[in-house]
Amino acid sequence: MRTFCPNCAERRPNDADHCDDCGAALERAPEDTPIGVVLDNKYFITAALGRGGVGAVYRARQRSMDRDVAIKVLAPERIADERAIARFKREARAVSLLSHPNIITVHDFGTTQEIHYLVMELIEGEPLSRVVAPKRPLPFARAVSIVTQICDALAEAHDQGIVHRDLKSQNVMITPQRGNPDFVKVLDFGLVKIFNADHAAALTEAGRIVGTPAYMSPEQIEDLPVDPRSDLYSVGVILFELLSGQPPFASDDIAATLTRQIHDPLPRLSAINPAVVLPITVDRFLERAMAKDPTSRPASAGAFKHELLELAKAVGGEESETLVAPLPYQVPVLPHIDPDEAE
């Protein structure tokens, strides 16, 4: 076991219980984890934050700046996987192009002792997918506030020629910042596509379905060219989820979800959750946002935001809250197709 002080970001003797310097209780971590290790002589890893298909995210202290950061580390079993490494580097380069309050900030990227890592701002908050829990919709005004911030983030990405391609409630963090308890941070640009670069073809997984089926646009599912309007479809799914309690075509059957995204008409909010009471104009907007034909959707993230705010003004006079009762069902755990594991 490693023994360390989480405050001082320093190793301590294994037989000690408290830090001699600051008096804090010491923590211990198994030797087979990076917790308690100094990465690249700069970042002292103090805790695990989460794990995904291609790696894990840790809390760390950046010694030179005396600040806490989040570090995404490529999984050890992926260090020889050229596709996973390319995807990892692509995410770092894409986010480094972006500068917006609603997009996570990247501080550093590097490789040391065969460890590929990405250093980002540490966000104290929770995923939007948990904000909807316990399986209850949000008030309409709150949903609009969150979604318009997502639109602002996408406008910056799209202006830089970047399509996210994996936008979902799990990849949106809600954190109290700038006097706003629902400040949005868009994360995880690991599936980005550079749509206005000459080398764009090299940055995609041709012939491979990538993303999260419940949030994917029909054109993305069918491996057709995608542009910013594909992200807007995903924003529509998120808005539907916030207002009803779940995505419209959610299922634990991946094939069924993909088929429904392509062919099925969008259900009414009340069909998913009968307790929701909102004007029909909200359903009409969602139908436009999630139109099967990309040309029928709002033309840009800015246009999506403008139309939604205009809708909110109109709805405000009729019904500004989503009326709900406890839902009689459990929202399924949504599957995700990892491009580095898809056959």
Hey, which residues are catalytic here? 166
Q: Is 160 exposed, middle or buried (0-12, 13-18, 19+ CB in 10 A)?
A: middle
| Residue 249: its H or E element | none
Half-sphere exposure (CA, 13 Å, Cβ side) for 122? 19
Question: What are the DSSP E strand ranges found in 52-171?
Answer: 55-62, 67-74, 106-112, 115-121, 126-127, 162-163
Residue with tokens 């012939």: 207
Taking residue 225's Cβ as centre, other Cβ atoms within 10 Å add up to 12
Which letter does DSSP use for residue 78 in this model?
G
Task: Identify the three-state secondary structure at position 140.
Answer: helix
Taking residue 293's Cβ as centre, other Cβ atoms within 10 Å add up to 9
Contact 54, 78 (CB under 8 A): yes
Task: Identify the three-state secondary structure at position 98.
Answer: coil
Parallel, antiparallel or unpaired: strands 106-112 and 115-121:
antiparallel
